[in-house]
Chains A and B, each alone.
Chain A
Amino acid sequence: AQRVTQPEKLLSVFKGAPVELKCNYSYSGSPELFWYVQYSRQRLQLLLRHISRESIKGFTADLNKGETSFHLKKPFAQEEDSAMYYCALRGANAGNMLTFGGGTRLMVKP
C-alpha cells in the first residue's frame, strides 16, 4: 500500500520567513513524489516533482529515502504563496495510482 502523510493541516508564517511543509510517505518500491498547489478559486496544479530536482517559485523539495520524506521548502515566504499544498506519490508498480496527502494550508501574513 502507498500512503502520504502531511502532519500539519495549517502553517502560518510572516512574509519573509522560511517555510517548510512536511511530507512523509510509505511505499515499498521506488516512488515518484510530487508537490501540487491549489490557489484560491483555481485548479490544483503541479508545483514540482522530485525527478526534476528543480526550483519553482523559489520552492525546492528533496527526496530523502532514508527518512521517507519529501519536505517542501522556501527560504523567504511571500503573501502570494498562500494556498493549499498537497504532497503526492505515484508508485512504479501500483498501476498508475496517484495518492495524495491530507494537504497543508499555508498562510503567509504581511
Chain B
Amino acid sequence: NAGVTQTPKFQVLKTGQSMTLQCAQDMNHNSMYWYRQDPGMGLRLIYYSASEGTTDKGEVPNGYNVSRLNKREFSLRLESAAPSQTSVYFCASRENTEAFFGQGTRLTVV
C-alpha cells in the first residue's frame, strides 16, 4: 500500500517549457488535490477533483491545467512554465476526513 505517489521528485525547467506532474493513489479515494507550497504562504490549492470525471479550480489555478484520468490518477500540467511557478507541489487524496499527501515535487523554473 503505497498511499499517494508523485513523480518526479525534482525537476528543473526553462521558462516556456511544459511538463506534467503525475500523481497516483491506491486508496480508492474519490477526492484528489494539487497544492503548491511557498515560504510564508503555506499550502495554496491549485485544482481539486471531487470525483472521477470532475475538476474544479482552487485558489491559484492560473498557468495550470489538470486531468483526472481515472479514479487513481490526477495530473497537473504546466503548459508554459514561468519562474513564478517555482515551488514545491503536493498532491493529496481524501476520503471522509483525513487527507493523505504525496512526498512532493520540487520544481525550479529558470
Instruction: Enumerate chain A interface residues (CB-CB to B < 8 A).
Output: 6, 9, 32, 34, 36, 43-46, 49, 51, 86, 88, 90, 95-103
Check A95 against B40 for contact (C-beta < 8 Å).
Answer: no
A-B contact count (CB 8 A): 56
Closest CB in chain B relative to A75 CB, distance in Å: 25
Check A45 against B101 for contact (C-beta < 8 Å).
Answer: yes
In the assembled complex, which residues on chain A have CB atoms less than 8 Å from the CB atom of B101?
A: 43-45
Check B42 against A34 for contact (C-beta < 8 Å).
Answer: no
Closest CB in chain A relative to B92 CB, distance in Å: 8
The total of chain B residues at the interface (CB under 8 A) is 25
Question: In whole angstroms, what is the CA distance A34 to B92 when docked?
Answer: 15
Check B50 against A99 for contact (C-beta < 8 Å).
Answer: no
CB closest residue in chain B, given A101: B42
In the assembled complex, which residues on chain B have CB atoms less than 8 Å from the CB atom of A36?
A: 99
In the assembled complex, which residues on chain A have CB atoms less than 8 Å from the CB atom of B50?
A: 95-96
Q: Which of B7-48 contact A (CB under 8 A)?
A: 30-31, 33, 35, 40-45, 48
Asked whether any CB of chain A lies closer than 8 Å to the CB of B58, the reply is: yes
Instruction: Enumerate chain B interface residues (CB-CB to A < 8 A).
Output: 30-31, 33, 35, 40-45, 48, 50, 56, 58-59, 90, 92, 94, 97-99, 101-104
In the assembled complex, which residues on chain B have CB atoms less than 8 Å from the CB atom of A9?
A: 40
In the assembled complex, which residues on chain A have CB atoms less than 8 Å from the CB atom of B48?
A: 95-98
Question: In whole angstroms, what is the CA distance A103 to B36 when docked?
Answer: 13
In the assembled complex, which residues on chain A have CB atoms less than 8 Å from the CB atom of B92?
A: 44, 98
Q: Which 8 A-B pairs rank lowest in CB-CB distance, beginning with the nearest?
A: A102-B42, A100-B43, A103-B42, A44-B101, A96-B50, A96-B31, A46-B98, A43-B101
Question: In whole angstroms, what is the CA distance A72 to B44 when docked?
Answer: 21
